[in-house]
Amino acid sequence: MPAIEVVLGGMILGGLYALVAIGFNLQFGMARIVNLAYGEFLMGAAFAAFWMFTLASINPLLGMLASVPVTFGANWLVYRVLMMPLVRRARTRQELEGETILATFGLLFVLRGLATLAFSADNRYYDYLGQPLQIFGFTFAANRVLAFAMACVFTAAILLVLNRTRFGTALRALAIDPVGAELVGIDVRALSGIAFAGGGALVAVAGTLVSTFLTFNPAIGIEFTMKALVVVIMGGIGNIGGSLVAGLLLGIAEALCSYYVDSGLTLAVAYALFLIVLVVRPRGLFGTA
């Protein structure tokens, strides 16, 4: 039964997309920043894992202990230094979205150019847990399974924090109504900074996981940003569970397409899925209002 194997393979990829999209949703849905440079931090983390593994043979999972906090800090700085002025001067949410799109679009080219200067445009690859693994009679590469497992762990952790803690409740309030959140005593700006940085930390996790099983170069960031955008819109802005489901859906659709049609059409699949959702359910998969 190849179809089941394809779907399972798609779910593994989808788990990763869900993780990337949840991070993006923290930045977009909660901090209200459309960060087009989001994927560049994924690329940065992938390179960090690559260099740590090839130069010092540090296990990528251990390497995350360094790269994730660094990316968290870097994103917090991006929010405080670069986004705060825009947040202050924007009068409406639309205006803020427009301005942040422009500013982070510039940031995208800066980060990508710097990465290309530092690491060259070559494709990179390293072998970590490449051996096959048998699960329920199907064969998968061990690093993909590990990536899926890690993505599940982090997604579950985020969902637990959001739904079971006071801090998470405040974050959800922020997603629903920033003005109301401020009225009940939530420090909206500080919390937005943390949500933005948290999104960055998640994308660093995703970047490390991606680097274990995909070839990458300084230009991969933009593709993940686009997919994250599509998934977030499909699942609903600010809706973390929606991102999870939509991410899995995208992974499966992509796997089916690359098996039955062509593996080079991943972005076309994402956009086709996006269009179908737009036409059938303009408010997103789980949209109410």
Residue closest to 234 by CA, chosen among 224, 247, 222, 225? 247
Measured from the CB of residue 251, what is the shortest distance to other proteins in angstroms? 17
Helix (H, G, I), strand (E, B) or coil at 18: helix
Nearer to other proteins, 116 or 169 (CB): 116
d(Cα 11, Cα 177) in Å, to the nearest integer? 33
The minimum distance between CB 208 and other proteins, in angstroms, equals 24
Q: Of 260, 233, 245, 219, give the one whose Cα is nearest residue 114.
A: 219
Q: State which residue, 61 or 82, has the beta carbon closest to other proteins.
A: 82
Tell me: does residue 66 bind other proteins (CB under 8 A): no
Task: Give dist(CA 76, CA 149) in Å, integer.
Answer: 27
Rg (CA), the chain: 19
Which residue of 233, 240, 245, 252 would you call a contact of other proteins, by CB under 8 A?
233
Closer Cβ to other proteins, 208 or 225, answer by number: 225
Contact status: 260 vs other proteins (CB under 8 A): no
Q: For residues 28-47, which are near other proteins according to CB under 8 A? A: 34, 36
| Binding to other proteins in span 170-229, by CB under 8 A | 222-223, 226, 229
Q: Is 245 in the site for other proteins (CB under 8 A)?
A: no
Of 89 and 164, the one with the shorter C-beta distance to other proteins is 89
Q: Is 5 in the site for other proteins (CB under 8 A)?
A: no
Site for other proteins in 115-134 (CB under 8 A): 116-117
| CA 114/CA 118 separation, integer angstroms | 6
Strands 138-141 and 132-135: antiparallel
Contact between 105 and 36 (Cβ < 8 Å): yes
| CB 123 within 8 Å of CB 215 | yes
57, 94, 131, 288: residue in contact with other proteins (rule CB under 8 A)? 94
Q: Does 142 bind other proteins (CB under 8 A)?
A: no
Q: How is 225-262 classified by DSSP, letter by letter?
A: HHHHHHHHHHH-TT-HHHHHHHHHHHHHHHHHHHHHT-
Residues that bind other proteins (CB under 8 A): 34, 36, 80-82, 84-86, 88-89, 94, 97-99, 101-103, 105-114, 116-117, 222-223, 226, 229-230, 233, 262, 264-268, 270-271, 274-275, 278-279, 282
